């Protein structure tokens, strides 16, 4: 007797699976679940949406920079800034764009550092100093467009290892040349360290990050008084909170960097700063073997805790070790710097300085939106006499009386409101800069009662180009 047993029935799913036959190689058949295809379709759609979102972000970045610079990859970030690789739309040049958040900088008191960085960099034009091309801004962001240094920083280059002495000499010569140039123009860096020394495509050094730089207006009794910098590279006199010479402090930092390049380590390095500075004052460091005698002597003279007996930058740039085995080009590059030994020479205004007077490099109004604008600048190719005649005519039409102060200066007053002070200076051959400023005698400031547009209309074709402080608003 045979008994047939029925297999137990499994509960049917709410949505029965759907299958389809798919041909595969060798004539075989494979069953594929349609839900797998649907899942892959969803994944593809999500990836497409993500790509579209990324493209939208990229387009927004391009719109932020008014189509002038196309942002690329992120190069680095800090507390208040991000640096992007970018390409100029006009000529395809590669630049770096530093994007800063205005509100955060104002809230934390870092706005002054940005102003200092731009003010210092706009004074300087040297092959071993990172160039700043222009500044763009919105109500919430500031964009510093700078030269791109694709070689990274010097710290990454040395990576805790000693460099050959000939390579050290090349880097150190470029650093000393750049800093000596800065000092001759009244700028001291005060934060010289490998992280702030970048390398370009050809391996040439570029000094960057002038946020802690000191300008001549920071001097009090001919000295600086602000303690700043990175402890391992900062001169001992800086931390005493007394007056110090900024150039001598930069010379100390050069000595530390020279030691790092030659030895592959810091001469003074201790988590306890008090202990570290006691070692500095005792000159408690050890120069490793394998370093030439001239280089050792140079280190001893630079790492002198007494700024009065420490080697100066002027003496350093003429040191025989620095000049030894330099190429002919490097030797020639030092000759213009020799003229900079005379610090009493007033710096001449070049084309870069003229550009810096325009809104492109004037950041001061960006941190004081409520401050009324009391100043206008324009350049002119006409003679001083013709400019002053037109200004006098303009003043008479506006009801002002022109009082001549000197050949290229005048004051326009009407017995009411502010006085318009005008000064003309020659900035280049056949190019004059005219500065007009409203001055008040105890008044509230601003330009109430005076119409700049009327003055601009009367000046007419005497103006070659206006250089006003304007914000780019989106």
Residue 407 near residue 391 (C-beta atoms within 8 A)? no
Residue 352 near residue 96 (C-beta atoms within 8 A)? no
Give catalytic status of residue 191 as yes or no: yes
3-class state of residue 466 by DSSP? strand
> Within 10 A of 266 (CB to CB), how many other CB atoms are there?
15
**Does 5 carry a binding-site annotation?**
no
Confidence of residue 150 (pLDDT cuts 50, 70, 90): very high
Residue 214 near residue 119 (C-beta atoms within 8 A)? no
Angle at 240 between CA 238 and CA 243, to 5 degrees: 65
Sorted by sequence, the CB contacts under 8 Å of residue 255 that are 6+ apart come out as 299, 301, 302, 303
Reference 320, options 310, 309, 334, 307; nearest CA is 334
Q: How far apart, in whole angstroms, are the C-alpha atoms of residue 39 and residue 20?
A: 16
Model confidence pLDDT, tens digit, residues 224-279: 988 888 899 999 999 887 899 999 999 999 999 999 999 999 999 888 888 999 99
Crossing angle for the helix pair 328-338 and 165-184, nearest 10 degrees?
20
Crossing angle for the helix pair 384-397 and 452-459, nearest 10 degrees?
130
pLDDT score, position 158: 80
Average pLDDT, the chain: 75
* CATH fold label, 154-350: Transferase(Phosphotransferase); domain 1 (1.10.510)
CATH dotted code for 63-147:
3.30.200.20
* Cα-trace Rg, the chain: 32
Please give the C-alpha separations between residue 304 and each of 11, 146, 223, 250, 284, in angstroms, as whole numbers: 89, 35, 19, 12, 11
> Bigger pLDDT: 40 or 294?
294
Crossing angle for the helix pair 246-263 and 165-184, nearest 10 degrees?
170
Q: How far apart, in whole angstroms, are the C-alpha atoms of residue 158 and residue 164?
A: 11
Catalytic residue among 36, 153, 191, 200: 191
Confidence of residue 435 (pLDDT cuts 50, 70, 90): confident
Residue 86 near residue 70 (C-beta atoms within 8 A)? yes
Distinct helix (H) and strand (E) counts, the chain? 14, 15
Q: What is the pTM of this model?
A: 0.60
pLDDT score, position 436: 81
Where do runs of H (alpha helix) occur along 202-269?
246-263
Model confidence pLDDT, tens digit, residues 441-465: 544 444 455 677 778 888 888 887 7
Query: 200 φ, ψ to 5°?
Result: -85, -170
- Average pLDDT of 304-323? 92
Residue 319 near residue 255 (C-beta atoms within 8 A)? no
Residue 432 near residue 379 (C-beta atoms within 8 A)? yes
Where do runs of H (alpha helix) occur along 8-110?
34-64, 102-108
C-alpha count within 13 angstroms, C-beta hemisphere, residue 201 = 4
Q: How far apart, in whole angstroms, are the C-alpha atoms of residue 371 and residue 184?
A: 34
Model confidence pLDDT, tens digit, residues 76-85: 887 778 899 9
Beta bridge partners of 205: 199
Q: How far apart, in whole angstroms, are the C-alpha atoms of residue 280 and residue 285?
A: 8
Angle at 249 between CA 247 and CA 250, to 5 degrees: 65
pLDDT score, position 43: 63
pLDDT score, position 401: 63
Q: How far apart, in whole angstroms, are the C-alpha atoms of residue 174 and residue 337?
A: 12
Domain 372-466 has CATH 3.30.1450.10: no
> Bigger pLDDT: 382 or 19?
382
Any idea where the domains of the chain sit in the sequence? 63-147, 154-350, 372-466
Sorted by sequence, the CB contacts under 8 Å of residue 24 that are 6+ apart come out as 30
Reference 147, options 194, 90, 201, 72; nearest CA is 201
* Most confident segment among 61-75, 115-129, 356-370: 115-129
């Amino acid at each position: 007797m045979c008994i047939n047993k029925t297999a137990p029935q499994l509960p049917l799913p709410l949505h029965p699976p759907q299958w389809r036959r798919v041909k595969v190689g060798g004539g075989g058949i494979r069953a594929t679940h349609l839900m797998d295809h649907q899942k892959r379709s969803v994944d593809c759609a999500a990836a497409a949406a993500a790509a579209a979102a990324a493209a939208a972000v990229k387009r927004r970045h391009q719109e932020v920079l008014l189509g002038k610079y196309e942002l690329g990859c992120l190069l680095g970030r800090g507390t208040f800034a991000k640096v992007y690789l970018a390409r100029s739309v006009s000529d395809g040049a590669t630049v770096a764009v530093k994007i800063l958040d205005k509100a955060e900088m104002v809230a934390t008191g870092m706005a002054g550092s940005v102003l200092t960085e731009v003010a210092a960099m706009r004074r300087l034009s040297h092959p071993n100093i990172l160039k700043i091309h222009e500044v763009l801004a919105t109500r919430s962001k500031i964009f510093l467009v700078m030269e791109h240094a694709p070689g990274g920083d010097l710290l990454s280059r040395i990576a805790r290892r000693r460099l050959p002495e000939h390579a050290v000499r090349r880097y150190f010569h470029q650093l000393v040349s750049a800093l000596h140039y800065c000092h001759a123009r009244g700028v001291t860096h005060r934060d010289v360290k490998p992280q702030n020394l970048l390398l370009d495509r050809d391996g040439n050094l570029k000094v960057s990050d002038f946020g802690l730089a000191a300008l001549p207006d920071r001097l009090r009794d001919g000295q600086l008084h602000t303690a700043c910098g990175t402890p391992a590279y900062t001169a001992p006199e800086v931390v005493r909170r007394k007056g110090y010479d900024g150039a001598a402090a930069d010379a100390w930092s050069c000595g530390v960097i020279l030691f790092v390049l030659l030895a592959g380590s810091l001469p003074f390095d201790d988590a306890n700063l008090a202990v570290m500075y006691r070692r500095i004052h005792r000159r408690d460091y050890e120069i490793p073997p394998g370093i030439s005698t001239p280089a050792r002597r140079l280190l001893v003279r630079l790492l002198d805790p007494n700024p009065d007996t420490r080697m100066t930058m002027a003496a350093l740039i003429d040191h025989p070790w620095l000049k030894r085995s330099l190429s002919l080009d490097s030797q020639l590059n030092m000759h213009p710097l020799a003229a900079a030994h005379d610090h009493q020479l007033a710096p001449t205004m070049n084309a870069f300085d003229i550009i810096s007077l325009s809104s492109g490099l004037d950041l001061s109004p960006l941190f004081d939106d409520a401050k009324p604008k009391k100043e206008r600048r324009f350049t002119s190719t006409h003679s001083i006499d013709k400019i002053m005649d037109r200004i006098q005519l303009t003043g008479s039409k506006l009801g002002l009386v022109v009082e001549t102060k000197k050949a290229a200066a005048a004051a326009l007053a009407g017995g009411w409101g502010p006085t318009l002070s005008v000064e003309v200076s020659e900035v280049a051959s056949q190019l004059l800069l005219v500065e007009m400023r409203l001055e008040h005698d105890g008044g509230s400031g601003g330009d109430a009662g005076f119409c700049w547009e009327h003055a601009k209309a009367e000046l007419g074709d005497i103006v070659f180009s206006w250089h006003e402080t304007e914000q780019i608003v989106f």
